[in-house]
Structure 1
Amino acid sequence: MNLKGKSILITGGGSGIGLEAAKQFLQIGAKVIITGRNQDKLEAAKKAYPNLITIQSDAGNEDHAYALFDKVKQLGGIDILYNNAGVGVPPINLGLSNDAHLKGAAYEIQVNYLGVVRLNNLFMEMLKSREESAIINTTSILSIVPSLIEATYSASKSALAFYTKSLREHLKILGVKVKVFELLPPLVDTDMVADRKDKKISPEQLVKELIKGLEQDRYTIRVGDSKLIYFFNRFFPKLAFGLINPKKTNATLKS
């Protein structure tokens, strides 16, 4: 896929992976629109990268989604929809027998899964009208093997992974040329996991691998430890589960 000159919408682009993606896409020569809930972060991003177009929007809010579509249409539309926005409720709030668990799960599903489906549906006709277009859905290493302390987050990403594969094949059957990519990051060094001591990769490294995958039309883009976990889960599933859920996890659940 040729990225130069493409118009790209990145949800959750005010910081972390989304902002790094915006930076690297701009360097390639793409036109980039980013969204986010935090207006201060969007303004900071615009100051750092003046060529960015910023739109305040919550990826889990239906009204915001329709307003976002109208604004993007007024700007001339897009060639690539990059569903990067995602949320994870801190594990401490996810006890299996309290109201916070259900609320957290609903929040994660609304943003990480339903919000993506909603935007894909809204932008599909626009993307179909383009000579070359794509959807990028960000799932996770935890869509391969679930984390015991991030059970509902893992479930939301697993739902998105199955949907992404189905969407890709469905469009092929219909003869629609919109490309559907799945990005599977390992743990990435962002504010969302700043307190975690586990092995992490940088957003810069992740986005470089994403861009390489897009340019090679590699529809499933596993990065870093996601490749390893995918292999182990196919042939040694118990080992893969243990790598995602080491013994210290049990101590965390009991505490």
Structure 2
Amino acid sequence: MDLNGKTILITGGASGIGLEAARQFLAIGAKVIITGRNQNKLDAAKQSVPSLIAIRSDVDNQDDATALFNEVNELGGIDILYHNAGVGTPGLNLGTANVQILENAIYETNVNYFGVLRLNNLFLNMLKSKAESAIIITTSLLSLVPGIEEPTYSASKVALGFYTKLLRKDLEILDSTVKVFELLPPLVATDMTAKRNDKKISAQELVKALVSGIKKNQFIIRVGDAKLIYLINRFFPKLAFNLVNPKKIYNSLR
């Protein structure tokens, strides 16, 4: 897929992976619109990359999503919708009775899963009208093997992974030209993972792999340890689980 000349909307684009993706897409000739719920971060992103178009919007809110669609439509529409927005909450032991477990699950699922469906329902017809268009959805290594410290995050990404596969197949059945890419990152060095001491890759490395995969029409893009865990999990699922969840982390859940 040729990214040059495409207009790309990136959710969660004001920092981290989203902002790095915006930089790399701009560098290869795309027009980029970023959105996020934090106006200060959007202002800072716009200041550092003046060619960006920044629109405040929360994927968790239907009114925000509708307003975002209307504003994007007035700007001429998009060719690519990149679902990058995602949230994670502190890990809790599911074996304990804790109201926070339910609250975390609702919050993470609303953003990580329903936020994707909410925007797709609005933008899908626009994307179908384009000669070449795409939807990019970020799932996770944890959609392959769950993380014991991120139970609700893992569950939301599993749901999103199945949705992504079925969306791609349904669009094929409809003879649609909309391409659906799934990005499966390992742990990435961002603000959300700043307190983690595990092995991480940079946002630059992740986005470079994403861009390469899109150009080659590689619809499932596993990066770094996500490739390794995918292979191990196919044949040795217990080993894969233990690699993702070393026993040293168990004490944090007691």
TM bucket (normalised to shorter chain) is over 0.9
Q: Does 1:12 align with 2:21?
A: no
- Normalized against structure 1, the TM-score is what? 0.98
Match for residue 169 of structure 2?
169
* Percent identity over paired residues: 66
Q: Is the 1:94–1:104 contact (alpha carbons within 8 Å) kept by the matching residues of 2?
A: no
Q: Does 1:41 align with 2:36?
A: no
Counterpart CA distance in 1 for 2:80 and 2:88 is 25
Cα displacement string for residues 188-208 of structure 1 (whole angstroms, at most 9, x for unaligned residues): 000001000000000000000
Match for residue 118 of structure 1?
118
Q: Is the 2:93–2:253 contact (alpha carbons within 8 Å) kept by the matching residues of 1?
A: no
1:99 positional shift: 1.2
1:55 positional shift: 0.2
Q: Is the 1:138–1:184 contact (alpha carbons within 8 Å) kept by the matching residues of 2?
A: yes
Counterpart CA distance in 2 for 1:49 and 1:33 is 11
Counterpart CA distance in 2 for 1:252 and 1:211 is 37
Q: Is the 2:79–2:132 contact (alpha carbons within 8 Å) kept by the matching residues of 1?
A: yes
Distance 1:93 1:245, change over 3 A: closer
Residue pairs, 1:76-95, within 5 angstroms: 76-91=76-91
Match for residue 51 of structure 1?
51
Q: Is the 1:189–1:203 contact (alpha carbons within 8 Å) kept by the matching residues of 2?
A: yes
SS in 2 for 1:176: coil
1:20 positional shift: 0.2
Higher mean displacement: 84-93 or 152-161: 84-93
Q: Which amino acid aligns with 1:247?
A: K
Cα displacement string for residues 41-73 of structure 1 (whole angstroms, at most 9, x for unaligned residues): 111111111110000011111111000000000
Q: Is the 2:84–2:137 contact (alpha carbons within 8 Å) kept by the matching residues of 1?
A: yes
- Normalized against structure 2, the TM-score is what? 0.98
Distance 1:118 1:95, change over 3 A: same
1:103 positional shift: 0.6
SS in 2 for 1:10: strand
Distance 1:52 1:95, change over 3 A: farther
Counterpart CA distance in 2 for 1:110 and 1:30 is 29
Counterpart CA distance in 2 for 1:108 and 1:96 is 19
Match for residue 226 of structure 1?
226
Match for residue 155 of structure 1?
155
Root-mean-square deviation over aligned CA pairs:
1.1
1:249 positional shift: 2.3
Counterpart CA distance in 2 for 1:84 and 1:37 is 13
